[in-house]
Structure formats: structure tokens, C-alpha cells
Amino acid sequence: MKFTKMHGCANDYIYVDCTKEYLSDAPRLAVRLSDRHTGIGGDGLILIRASERADFFMEMYNADGSLGKMCGNGIRCVGKYVYDHRLTDKTELAVDTPAGIRYLSLHVKDNLVESVTVNMGHPDTKPESLPLIVKEKADTYTVESDGRTWEFTPVSMGNPHAVIMVDETKDFPVQKVGEPIEKNPMFPEGVNVEFVKRISDREVSMRVWERGSGETWACGTGACATAFACYRNGITGPEVTVHLLGGDLQIRYEEKEDIIYMTGPAVTVFEGTVEL
């Protein structure tokens, strides 16, 4: 099977062109190929398929084989893949996902995609949208982990996020705090947990515990959820640079449209074949 290893801010996935390749048992394959010792190595597997209602369809699996609904860093790389591999000559694309259609603007340099702006859609804080089990609806909620009570803002970007403000991200025990929250019964489908420090009105730093993958170096939907939560809670303005372990993402919330736009890099690491 031919594959391409790509990353967006070091959030790395294995990409397969399923308009040409046939795959069976993708969840099992995602687990095998994502292993960084015995496989290709990555945060998961992304399949690029044909779509009846958009230019392409993105099917994403986490490193544990679970199906993901949306991946912001992953969808930027899908845009780069289909353009760089000449599956399209369009620089404005519609990519369908289990979370709905997302619209991409490709920024091309020397006939290759360098970065991508994605219309990430509407942020949603309704508990049922994550889903989140609570007795009463509120702007923020609390959850217990590692012997402490943490306040979080819930945001769905097509997948669930719990945004937590912290004093420092550099030495924060992401797994120790994040993993129990991901598996807390109040999140029946699990949750991505963002730990965020405010730097200024236009900058934050973020680390993330992703359901199904553990700590990753970046999360595009998590950066969008973080930017929206910070703006809604009066912590930052509507445009922020989110500093992640793997790089920076530019996030802009358009309040009149109620839409979040994300701009960031998309990088090809290498291509190869793997024996199935």
C-alpha cells in the first residue's frame, strides 16, 4: 500500500489515497501503522476518499483505532495532499468529514501548498453537542482529576473539547490530569482536554490530551476551541496565535458569522509503501 506521512504543527498522520487504494479493516490498520516502534509512526491514519457532495471526504482514525469526526491539522494536510498530488487544481476546496463539510483555502508557493486556511464552522457549547452529562446548563463546569477540581469550558468543533486555564503549560502534567478527564463518565464519548495559559490579548500557549491518541504536539480543533473559549470568557480578543509544542496556529473568530477560521502549515515528511 502506498502512503504519505504528513504533519501539521507536528500533529502527524499517515495518509492514504483511497481513490486509488482499497483498504479493509481500517481501525486495525490504524493501530498497527501508528505504532512508532513497529509501524510507520503517527497520531493516526487518514484516508482520502471520493465524495458525492464535496471535492473529497476525509476519514480519520486515531492511534487506538477509534474513528474521529474531525481533525483541524489533518484536514490542512488533506488539502496539501490532493493539490500536490494533482488530484485537483483548485485552491478553494470543500472537504466532507463525519462532522460536516469544511472549506479550505490553499496558499500555494512554487506550485506546492505551504499553508492552509480552514473555515472550521460554528463553535457549539451546548452540553448535548459534546456530549456532556450535567444536571444544569452553564457557561463553565467542573471536573475532578489528580486530587483537584478543574474548571473547564466545553466546546464542540465537530468533536468534543474541555478547555482548562492553567498558570503554566511548560511543566504541566498533561497525562496525569488529562487522561482521567478524557475517561470521566460525564463525557460518554470521551473528550479532548486543552490546558491553556494566557500570554496576552492575542497570544496563548496550549498543550492537549487527545482522546484516543494521548498527548499530541498540536490539535487544530483544540486550538479553535481554545480561542473561542478564551474570547467568550473575556481572556483574549477574537484573533489569537496559539502556541503549541509543534508550532503556531492563527485562529480568528468572526462573531457576526459565528465562524472560526484557522490558518497553519501543512508539511509532507516522506512517502513510501508498506506491506499489508
Rounded distance, CA 115 to CA 256, Å?
25
Point out the catalytic residue in the list 9, 77, 219, 224.
219
Rounded distance, CA 103 to CA 120, Å?
7
Q: How many alpha carbons fall within 13 Å on the CB side of residue 170?
A: 1
Distances (CA, A) of 246 to 59, 122, 236, 243, 266: 23, 25, 22, 8, 12
What is the sign of the dihedral through the CA atoms of 189, 195, 200 and 203?
negative
> Do 90 and 72 contact (CB within 8 A), yes or no?
no
Point out the catalytic residue in the list 71, 77, 224, 230.
71
**What is the C-alpha radius of gyration for the chain, rounded to an integer number of angstroms?**
18
DSSP β-bridge partners for residue 264: 116
Residue 71 annotated as catalytic: yes
Residue 219 annotated as catalytic: yes
Q: Which helix (H) or strand (E) holds 247?
A: strand 247-254
The label of the residue with cell 470568557 reads: 233
Collapse the DSSP code of 221 into the 3-class scheme (helix H, G, I; strand E, B; otherwise coil) and give the result: helix
Q: Which helix (H) or strand (E) holds 142?
A: strand 141-145
Q: What's the CA dihedral at 202, 235, 105, 53 to 10 degrees?
A: 180
Could you give the residue numbers annotated as active site?
A: 71, 219
